[in-house]
A and B are shown apart, each in its own frame.
Chain A
Amino acid sequence: MANMRIENLTKRYKEKVVLDQISFTVKDGEFLSILGSSGCGKTTLLRILIGIETCDSGQILKDGVDITKEDTKKRKMGMVFQNYALFPNMTVLQNVMYALYIKIKKKEEAKRQSMDMLKIVGMAEHSHKYPHELSGGQQQRVAIARALVLKPEVILFDEPMSALDADNRLVLRKELKQIQKKLHTTMIYITHDQEEAFSLSDRVMVMHNGKIEQIDTPHVVFNKPASTYVESFVTKHLKEKVSSIEKCAGIDL
């Protein structure tokens, strides 16, 4: 668990401003979703937070310590990728325990901890299988276990469910929420899916053109959108969805 404070983060690619003076905080054990359409700068923000990319100006503070120029390895953060990025030549168990084994150099201990984590994500009985033998949802569970087994203080998700079908998404959403409650890890979750952000998060941060439009609880964002963009991208969209479901179910508004 850790809290994070991001101050005036700015990133430019040549003339284009991708992130414009971004400032926000993430509390201990909080689940924050960053919601926005393609090209709004959310993935760049995530890559800067993990340390794969650098920012032009601004600060990232973790538990009050400036980690802006810290190496990725020293940030104690985990990451789950959109395309899972599991190692195809390793079994589920090997994928999860690989980094842990390199870190602690004790095979049995690494194996025990990895199996515990696989139990948490419901993949213990598939530990001997290879990634190509698993469904998308199962692969994503393994990727989550791999990120969690190193006990990161903050874990980042880069649109982890965008490649899954609707059923799998629903199941995995519930499970992810349960895992978060159980482990109390601080989680930052990137998505362009409004439902996903609203159903998972303690707070939602809506981004547009490299700026934060609104950051608040799902309830406030839905009922009191701070800008016309938030209203059209989030509120209107969700309301239309609810109304179409109600129409299909035969409920008269």
Chain B
Amino acid sequence: MIKKRTLVRFFLFLFLFCTIFYPLLVMVCKIKWSDFSILISSASFRQALGNSFLVTLLATFFSISIAYLLAYTIHHTNRKHKEILKILITLPMLIPSISHGLGLLTFMGSNGLFSKYFGFNIVGFWGIVIGSVLYTFPVAFLILSDGFGYIDSTMYEVCKILGFTKWQTFRKVTFCSLKKALLSAIFAVFTLIFTDYGVPLAVGGKFITLPVYLYKEVMGLLHFSSGTIISLFLLIPAFFSFLFDIFCKDYTTTSEKSYSPSKNKWRDRILAIFTYGILLFTFLILGSFIYYAFIDNIILHPTLSFDHFSYVLDNNLISYLCNSLWISFLVAIFGTILSYLIAYFTARDKKHKSMHILAISSLAIPGMVLGLSYTISFNHTIFYHTFLILVLVNIVHFMASPYLMAYNALKKLDPNYETVGKVCNIRTFYILKDVIIPNTKGTIREMFAYFFVNSMITISAVAFLYNTRTMPLSLLIPTYEGNLMLAEAAVVSFVILLVNLLIKGSISILNRKERRIKYEK
């Protein structure tokens, strides 16, 4: 007789295979290879490819440099309120990438809040670079901050005792320990920028990048075959990033002792100015689109007004918001259950390496590519244009990170709990319900928040899969933005930011409260 456990594992494996690899296989099979040479020889495609590489390389360099200095400031300088700073740095992750572009446009575009006094316009190459940096540096910061947290601080004491210079200590300890995190951050940021179409769509103007080219080919010209070929190009950096994550990431390193920075006023002051400067710029951009949303007319009549808000409200804001909340809630619930269950098998049982690789493989598939593959695979089925397909594509798209959160948390738990269950004649289900889940509650909440927030902001994965009845709120932004209704697009971004702040904030408060209660005990 087949055990229940084996059956559950089989269905999880089947689910991962059908939702990740099947659509990709169908997509690749439907490519007309004659289109390949036509596309490659097209000047506009080559131009877009070149533009993408140029923008991505430059923006990755700036993003990583800023994130490194911010992470260094948090971990290796004497600053108060580091936790608050950390929250502020990661706050921009709560809005879609297109909103960063929108913020930049309202601040430094033609007639922008700032640029109108100096007569310049950021739209184009530099707009995409700055927008991409704004969108990705919090992601790089989180990865590097994690890396800094893992550095064993006793190594610094050893260097001091051995009389190493500061430069030698940096090379031998900081850089060596951070190498993996740094490479991981570079790959992650490169992939994010290379495959993002939110920022270039908002602030790119005539400077076309590859994802925008794909978007126009599929949405504008309905050239699905060309779209698929472009998707393959978008997959390349993501695929290398994925391989790197599998082979090089070390999930188990831990710090023996937390680092206490030496006294150095000048270092602290310079880095504080840098940190506050970056935060100021980020919040000016964020504030700019919020300001835009509540001003009547930025040029002719710059007074407080709720007209744009009322306009969006009258145009079914509540209905789209409900769609988004409904989708995000379902994604968060089912995504959390599913990724937690998969992580339970892979982390608590050594036999499931293939399931582990399958679960993190969605890291290698950009949202647009996943969305396109779902369109091609399911467009003749009853799922197409339903909430079900939107929920499914979001779960698959965002699964890797929450899965890794659960995987790491479950790996840290005592490996003997299940053995205790076996010896004491307690069913594994009870051990999972009464021991494993209660001891990873904080992680489960974080996973829920991650799924929810990202489903609220995603555009790329769902852009080809909605209809008027199921359209999520985030897709109103490119719609308004395309019609040059920037204030209305800003209103939508603002509403998304509010919802995400509410969810992320409540979960952070809940987790903090629980930690404090535990500490007081």
Contact = CB atoms under 8 A, between A and B. Distances in A.
Contacts of A90: 434-435
Contacts of A81: 416, 419-420
Which secondary structure dominates chain A's binding surface? mixed
A51 B434 contact: no
B423 interface: yes
A229 interface: no
B378 interface: no
B426 interface: yes
Q: Size range of the interface on B?
A: 10 to 19
A85 B415 CA distance: 8
Nearest to A71: B422
A233 interface: no
Interface stretch (A25-33, A98-106, A176-184, A208-216): A98-106
A36 interface: no
B435 A79 contact: no
Nearest to A133: B521
A133 B439 CA distance: 16
Contacts of B417: 85, 87
A98 B423 contact: no
A98 B439 contact: no
Contacts of A85: 414, 416-417, 419-420
A98 B430 CA distance: 10
Contact of B423 (A78, A87, A88): A78
Contacts of A73: 422, 425
A130 interface: yes
B483 to A, nearest CB: 54
Interface in A69-114: 72-73, 77-79, 81, 83, 85, 87-90, 98-99, 102-103
A102 B426 contact: yes
B349 to A, nearest CB: 13
A78 B414 CA distance: 18
A74 to B, nearest CB: 8
Contacts of B423: 50, 72, 77-79, 147
A55 to B, nearest CB: 17
B434 A98 contact: yes
A88 B439 contact: yes
B424 A99 contact: yes
A21 to B, nearest CB: 26
B302 interface: no
A141 B423 CA distance: 18
Contacts of A89: 435, 438-439
Contacts of B416: 81, 83, 85
Contacts of B521: 130, 132-133
Interface in A38-87: 50-52, 72-73, 77-79, 81, 83, 85, 87
A11 interface: no
A53 to B, nearest CB: 11
A12 B116 CA distance: 78
A85 B430 CA distance: 16
Contacts of B439: 87-89
Interface string B427-442: 1001000110011000
A102 B422 contact: no
A18 interface: no
B438 A146 contact: no
A79 B420 CA distance: 8
Contacts of A103: 425
Interface in B427-471: 427, 430, 434-435, 438-439
Q: Which of B419, B424, B438 has the most CB of A within 10 A?
A: B424
Contacts of A102: 425-427, 430
A82 to B, nearest CB: 9
Contacts of B419: 52, 79, 81, 85
A133 B430 CA distance: 25
B420 A150 contact: no
Interface string A108-133: 00000000000000000000001011
A85 B434 CA distance: 14
Interface in A192-208: none
B422 A51 contact: yes
Nearest to A100: B424
Nearest to B422: A72
Interface in B402-426: 414, 416-417, 419-420, 422-426
B425 A99 contact: yes
Contacts of B430: 102
B426 A98 contact: yes
A89 B517 CA distance: 13
A58 B419 CA distance: 23
Nearest to A73: B425
Contacts of B414: 83, 85
A78 B417 CA distance: 14
A87 to B, nearest CB: 5
Nearest to A50: B423
Q: Which of A72, A103, A146, A147 has the most CB of B within 10 A?
A: A72
A241 B232 CA distance: 71
A87 B426 CA distance: 13
Contacts of A146: 420, 424
Interface in B364-423: 414, 416-417, 419-420, 422-423
B448 to A, nearest CB: 19
Contacts of B427: 102
Given A102-B430, A133-B521, A150 B435 contact: no
A83 B420 CA distance: 12
Given A85-B420, A99-B424, A150-B425, 19 more contacts: A51-B422, A77-B423, A78-B423, A79-B420, A79-B423, A81-B416, A81-B420, A83-B416, A85-B417, A85-B419, A88-B439, A89-B435, A90-B435, A98-B426, A132-B521, A133-B521, A146-B420, A146-B424, A150-B424
Interface of A: 50-52, 72-73, 77-79, 81, 83, 85, 87-90, 98-99, 102-103, 130, 132-133, 146-147, 150
20 contacts: A50-B423, A51-B422, A52-B419, A52-B422, A72-B423, A78-B424, A81-B416, A81-B420, A85-B414, A85-B416, A85-B417, A85-B420, A87-B434, A88-B439, A89-B438, A89-B439, A99-B425, A99-B426, A103-B425, A146-B420
